[in-house]
A and B are shown apart, each in its own frame.
Chain A
Amino acid sequence: MKDQYRLIEFNLNGKDVACMVDCRASLTDMLRNDFRLTSVKKGCEVGECGACNVIIDGECYNSCIYLAVWVRGKHVRTLEGLMGPNGELSDIQQAFIDETAVQCGFCTPGFIMSAVEILESGKLYTRDELRKLLSGHLCRCTGYENILNAVEKTMKKRLGVV
């Protein structure tokens, strides 16, 4: 293969970065191996479980079925980007803890990034709508109810709805 490694520049969690990446790499591969962002989990690797979910230009994508070279010029956000300046958790992460929406934790970063897209839309969704918006994630521990509670409560808190 000629030019197997390609230079790509993009914005990662608010910082402009550059990387010589193997063009055969998935975005999951690059984020984990080149940037050590291990919140991006390798789950099914065929776009079904949502554990590798990241936000690209404001929309959620399963990074396991996304070529690393496709992020050229884009803004990529992972769970690590939610951390406050002194290492604080964001409100949605705290809500997952408070609602016991985390057990083994493997699916959590993916769920939280979908929740971030939902919360940042500024819309008030019904429980059924939230269920549909989170349907691209599998969780084998919680039975989903606590996850829905965490997202719903944070959404209502941010919107000032009781």
Chain B
Amino acid sequence: MYDMKELYEAFSVQEAIELRLAHPEAQIIAGGSDVLVQMREGKRAGKELISIYLIDELRGVSLDEDGAIRIGSLTSFSHITKDPIIRRYINVLGEAVDLVGGPQIRNIGTIGGNTCNGVTSADSASTLHAWEALVELTGPSGKRLVPIKAFYLKASTVDIREGEIQTAILIPKESYENTFGAYYKYAMRNAMDIATTGCSVNVRLSPDKQTFDRVRIAYGVAGPVPMRAPSAEALIQGKPLTMENAEAFSLEVLKDIHPRDSWRAPKAFRQHIAVEMAKRCLIEAANRCGGEIK
């Protein structure tokens, strides 16, 4: 038995909004792989829960009319990895979430839960930052879209307002067109571990594939929330595909990131691997674009 005060169950978005308004103190639960574990640990013991897990309309990946990729917030990691739209347009997201926990966790864990818990180590979060995803929230006065960067207010706190639930993650067409990415997760073991640091890079090359037209890079566990490295991005833009530029780019990330010492790893080690991951991901992403670093 879980030590909960009350369980409210929503079967539609409308019901979820009504329950959110009626019980503003209650914790939203999607797949529960964080909430139920925290409840067992006593952190959320005795709380009210609003279960949104059975709202099937929030599952699945589709293309909006404007070409944006729409990922329903309750889509599980394993379904994201297998989805044909994800594989075709933003394969790196499927690869990143395929590194979360183990197989059973990837079947229950949702992309909505992974972003709403506001943690920096979430394997989906760095990729969503690097691809400038938009978060769709639905509440009593309708829908609003928030850029993923603004959605993270501080560690463990995201911009979900009264009566709202997150209903989708959107990747605009301008963001994914002709763009390929790579993700690197550094952890102590291959499965069932949280990233010491994670890095997601995506690249769009010039039509002749000789220069970097646009490079975006984001980290998990390089600060209290997932973050981009704008200095590194600016440095490499318009530059030719050379190893020298790749190395300069990777060192430049140190101007942007500010990892800390923790029991998982010291700051100096995180800085070291952040540089190496940036370089490896940049080279891999450029290769996936059909470019070759010389």
* Chain A positions near chain B (C-beta within 8 angstroms): 1-2, 22-26, 29, 45-48, 50, 53, 59-62, 65-67, 69-70, 72, 114, 132-137
Contacts and interface: CB of A to CB of B under 8 A. Distances in A.
B31 to A, nearest CB: 8
B191 A132 contact: yes
Contacts of B5: 1
B177 interface: no
Interface in B40-96: 40-41, 51, 53-54, 78
Nearest to B1: A24
12 contacts: A24-B2, A25-B1, A26-B2, A47-B33, A47-B37, A48-B192, A59-B78, A66-B108, A69-B9, A135-B102, A135-B191, A136-B105
B40 A46 contact: yes
A70 B104 contact: no
A53 B1 contact: no
Contacts of B33: 47, 65
A136 B105 CA distance: 8
B7 interface: yes
The number of chain B residues touching the other chain, given as a range, is 20 to 34
Contacts of B36: 26, 47, 65, 67
A53 B101 CA distance: 14
A113 to B, nearest CB: 10
Contact of B6 (A1, A22, A59, A137): A1
Given A46-B37, A60-B104, A65-B108, A135 B53 contact: no
Contact of B103 (A22, A29, A45, A114): A114
B1 A22 contact: yes
Contact of A66 (B32, B54, B103): B32
Contacts, number: 83
Nearest to B11: A72
Interface of B is mostly: mixed
B16 to A, nearest CB: 15
B97 to A, nearest CB: 14
Nearest to A110: B104
B104 A61 contact: yes
B7 A69 contact: yes
Nearest to B192: A48
Interface in B14-51: 29, 32-33, 36-37, 40-41, 51
A134 B191 CA distance: 10
A23 B7 contact: yes
A43 B104 CA distance: 15
B85 to A, nearest CB: 20
A46 B53 CA distance: 18
A24 B53 CA distance: 15
Contact of B53 (A25, A45, A70): A70
B112 to A, nearest CB: 16
Contacts of B107: 59-61
A24 B5 CA distance: 9
A23 B7 CA distance: 7
B190 interface: yes
B265 interface: no
